[in-house]
Amino acid sequence: MTVAETTGSAEDLRRRMTTCLTHEGVLRTPAWREAFATVPREHFTPAFSVHDAEGFRTLRAGDPGYLETVYSDTSLITRRDKNGVAISSSTRPRVMAAMLEALPDRDTATVLEIGTGTGYNAALLCARYGAEKIATLDIDPELTTAARERLHTAGYTPTIVTGDGTRGHTPRAPHSAIIATCGLPRIPAVWLSQLAPGGTVVANLGYGLASLNHHDDGSLRGRFLPEMAAFMTARHSPEDSAPNACPEDIAGLMPARGRTTTVQVAGDVTAPMPRFLSGMLHHDTIDVSLVGDDGRTVHLIQHPASGAWARMAPHGAHGARLDHDGPEHRNLWGERLVLIKAWFHAGHPGPDRYGLTVAPNGTHTLWLDSPDGPSWVLPA
């Protein structure tokens, strides 16, 4: 989408953005096209930072290029924590449209949004379904206060709640749909109990966007969308910070040590689909790729909770040296390569050929093509 290359009024840019998303096949239904063409994104993002070739730059209303950036296919970072880590943003319009199109296509649907953020996505939901059918929730009271003011000023009055979204929102249950605009390690089991029969969950897990339906046996089941994205991780309190790799720990993993083996590697393990599969399997690891003194790239995985780690240094066309250690000599890279090799032998399928089943007891099972096909139970 190349809206940023054009100039014009906010209305013109909004219309062009909607037209681009429609031509690309992301916006498919008239109701969502109308919502994107109507709701002013700039009203919810008066100031933000974006990352480009020159690094991070901040834009405010009235700055040159401000409106063009607002209506480009760009994530706008609107809030950072005390460590400078981004904790709130307005997501790329293409990703927002893909997730919203996965919601029920009926005017009577009631929707719970997890992650109010700027309020722009909530405004789109209100424009589509009506404000009385929308509840939006965020853990950060400063975000919900600002979003409430902007939503009300724009003429949208959804129910706005400050709280932990992983617990859902019982007072408005059952919900026709739950959409999470934050990253989740796993689908919270409590959400299943708050869904109406046949309800829908659209959520980000790792680098995947899952669209799941509630079935009669109490499970959630569905596929991943073709789009991939990684959202900011859901927080359980406003003070939560994103986990960061400790430089001393990473430096200590660079030299080859631990239990060593040689493995065959099918392609680039940091390419989009291997990264998607790795994110499905390991939701609580820190991943870093560094270039060693010899010029070779080393891929490091650290599991802070257990102390397990794994180091892989590719060499040759398809080989790699793998070092690992931790409780019971856990091999993190070995676990990932099972999924990556299965993907390679299946012909490099995209994310939309993978699906997920969430059992009533919380067990998550990843599968390829159908629930009866190749499958892998994911760790909790």
CATH number, domain of 22, equals 3.40.50.150
Q: Are residues 264 and 117 in the same domain?
A: no
Report whether 359 contacts 345 (CB < 8 A). no
Q: What average pLDDT is seen over the chain?
A: 91
- Report the alpha-carbon distance of residue 281 to residue 58 in Å, rounded: 35
pLDDT(5) > 50: no
DSSP tag of 271: S
Residues 6+ apart with CB under 8 A from 233: 182, 183, 184, 185, 242
For the question of residue 90 being annotated catalytic, the response is no
In a domain, 242, yes or no: no
Evaluate the CA torsion angle 160, 140, 104, 37 in order and state its sign.
positive
Give me the phi and psi of 349, to 5 degrees please: -65, 155
Judge whether residue 24 has pLDDT over 50.
yes
- Specify whether 264 is located in the same domain as 162: no
Whether residue 178 is found in the same domain as residue 321: no
Q: How far is the CA of 147 from the CAs of 48, 116, 131, 236, in angstroms?
A: 15, 7, 14, 19
> Is residue 326 included in any domain, yes or no?
yes
Would you say residue 190 lies in a domain?
yes
CATH (domain of 304) = 3.30.160
For residues 259 and 117, state if they share a domain.
no
- The answer, yes or no, to whether residue 151 has pLDDT greater than 80, is yes
Q: Are residues 199 and 300 both part of a single domain?
A: no
By the 10 Å C-beta count (0-12 exposed, 13-18 middle, 19+ buried), 186 is classed as: middle
Same domain (yes/no): 220, 288: no
Least Cα distance to 79 among 242, 195, 193, 222 occurs for: 242
Do the domain assignments include residue 360? no
Please say whether the beta carbons of 176 and 156 come within 8 A. no
Give the burial class of 106: count Cβ atoms within 10 A of its Cβ; 0-12 exposed, 13-18 middle, 19 or more buried: exposed
Mean pLDDT of 44-66: 91
pLDDT tens-digit profile of 217-273?
Answer: 999 999 999 999 999 889 888 877 655 555 556 666 656 677 888 888 877 888 999
In single-letter form, the type of residue at position 227 comes to E
Same domain? 191 vs 60: yes
Question: What value does the mean pLDDT take over residues 188-212?
Answer: 97
- What is the C-alpha to C-alpha distance for residues 332 and 166, in angstroms, rounded to an integer? 27
Q: What one-letter code names the amino acid at 343? A: W
56, 110: one domain: yes
Residue 351 lies in a domain: no
Q: Is the pLDDT at 346 greater than 90, yes or no?
A: yes
Q: What is the average per-residue pLDDT within 362-377?
A: 97
Residue 12, token pair as written in the block: 């013109």
Does the residue 296 lie in any domain?
yes
Lowest model confidence (mean pLDDT) among 4-8, 93-97, 122-126, 132-136: 4-8
> Which residues neighbour 331 within 8 Å (Cβ) at sequence distance 6 or greater?
259, 310, 322, 324
C-alpha–C-alpha distance, residues 102 and 120, integer Å: 18
Do 55 and 198 fall into the same domain? yes
Q: Where are the alpha helices (DSSP H) in 229-268?
A: 247-253
**Rounded mean pLDDT, 195-202:** 97
User: Are 107 and 149 in a shared domain?
Assistant: yes
CA dihedral 95, 99, 102, 107 (to 10 degrees): -120
**Distance between CA atoms of residues 239 and 25, nearest Å:** 39
For residue 268, tell me if it sits in a domain: yes
Q: Residue 212: inside a domain, yes or no?
A: yes
Report the side by side order of strands in the sheet with 195-205: 159-162, 134-138, 111-114, 175-184, 195-205, 208-214, 220-228, 354-358, 364-368, 375-378
Give the pairing type, strands 175-184 and 111-114. parallel
Domain that residue 43 falls in? 3-228
Specify whether 9 is located in the same domain as 40. Answer: yes
d(CA 358, CA 192): 9
Q: Sign of dihedral through CA atoms 371, 376, 377, 378?
A: negative
Which of 75, 88, 176, 278 does the annotation list as catalytic?
Answer: 88
Residues 116/122, Cβ–Cβ less than 8 Å: yes
Same domain, 214 and 294: no
Q: Are 310 and 257 in contact (CB under 8 A)?
A: no
Q: How far is CA 140 from CA 117, 144, 202, in A?
A: 9, 6, 21
State pLDDT tens for residues 309-336. 999 988 877 788 899 998 988 999 999 9
Instruction: Please choose, from the candidates 142, 162, 147, the residue with its C-alpha nearest in 3D space to the C-alpha of residue 236.
Output: 162
Query: How many domains, in total, are found in the chain?
Result: 2
